[in-house]
Amino acid sequence: MANSPKSMSPLNRLVLRGVLLALSFILSAIDHSLPSFLPGVPPMSIGLANLVVLFSLIFLNAKDALIITLAKSFFVFFLRGPISFLLSLSGGLLALLIEVLIWVLPKKKISIYFLSAIGGIFHNVGQILAYSFYAKLNVWVLMFPLALVGLVTGILIAFILNLLTPLMDRWFKNRRKDFG
């Protein structure tokens, strides 16, 4: 696959990081504006911004993914408030950690669907954990529907990334030809 990050010029990588950061802000804004659907479930993020984090894990490196995760949590802090910041931070960091572990540990190849779905599940699990620790509420039963939503969202994200990859391949190949 012609998308090796070291073959990108530093300027290209910088621009890509900037664009991905902006995109993660937009997705986070949409994510945190969605209403809650089940009674008793507070409106939590469903994990759309994980698309950008996953993309940067694949096409950039883990450090960039971490920076994007932290930055979008701070963005949510200014957009929504401190509670949403806590939820986004906990969910995003846990999802990133699990995704990196799943990426690094197994010897054979992992499918993007599996990676994204597990990341989505743990994104919401992280949110529930932070919420129950901070509020001292016993909300573990909310974990079931939210984990399910995370799984579905993860599969959706993997599907979107799958559609985008042929375009990305072409983009990267052209860029490499231009900038060496």
What residue ranges bind another protein (CB under 8 A)? 1, 3-7, 35-43, 58-59, 61, 80-84, 103, 109-115, 117, 121, 134-139, 141, 144-145, 147-148, 151, 155, 162, 165
Q: Which is nearer to another protein, 169 or 174 (CB)?
A: 169
Residue 76: CB minimum distance to another protein, A: 10
Residue 57: CB minimum distance to another protein, A: 8
68 three-state secondary structure = helix
Residue 38: CB minimum distance to another protein, A: 7
Give the span between the Cα atoms of 57 and 84, in whole angstroms: 24
Residue 74 neighbours by CB distance under 10 Å? 13
Residue 172: CB minimum distance to another protein, A: 10
Under a CB-based contact definition with an 8 Å cutoff, are residues 49 and 92 in contact?
Answer: yes
Whether the CA torsion 26, 161, 67, 2 is positive or negative: it is negative
Please state, in angstroms and as integers, the Cα–Cα distance from residue 13 to each residue in 6, 82, 107, 116, 170, following that order.
9, 31, 28, 23, 16
Q: Which is nearer to another protein, 42 or 129 (CB)?
A: 42
Q: Which is nearer to another protein, 43 or 129 (CB)?
A: 43
Give the span between the Cα atoms of 46 and 49, in whole angstroms: 9
Q: Which is nearer to another protein, 5 or 12 (CB)?
A: 5
Residue 142: CB minimum distance to another protein, A: 9
136 three-state secondary structure = coil
